[in-house]
Amino acid sequence: MTETISIKKWKDIKLQLLDDMIDGVSGEFMRIANDIPDCADFVLNPDGFITDLDKDGKRIVSTESSLAGKKFSEITDRVAAMRGLAATYDYLVTQYHGVEELPDGVDAFIPPKPKKG
């Protein structure tokens, strides 16, 4: 027995799914984008170079470039994540527009489930 569903119903389900994924990706993109100013403050904060306390409890300040590099990587990691999310966003939007363009007046064929045995 074969089953058909209207393409309109299928489109509505697919568009809702894509819309939810687009919202999730754009929300994560904005969350990361909002973190970047805090990361810049962290990089520019001179107290951020404090790495340890000496035996008297005084702060030992490191000026090693590796520490500065680690701090700067906070920003570059977020920018890299945003690039990946932007590519995902573009892909999902393209899929959304492709589904939108399908005609509503055609039935979709759902193949029968394979018989066991």
pTM of the model: 0.64
Phi, psi of 95 (to 5 degrees): -60, -40
Domains in the chain: boundaries: 1-64
In the prediction, which pLDDT does 39 show? 73
Q: How far apart are CA 10 and CA 97, in angstroms?
A: 15
In the prediction, which pLDDT does 41 show? 72
In the prediction, which pLDDT does 106 show? 60
pLDDT < 50 stretches in the chain: 50
CA atoms within 13 A on the CB side of 9: 6
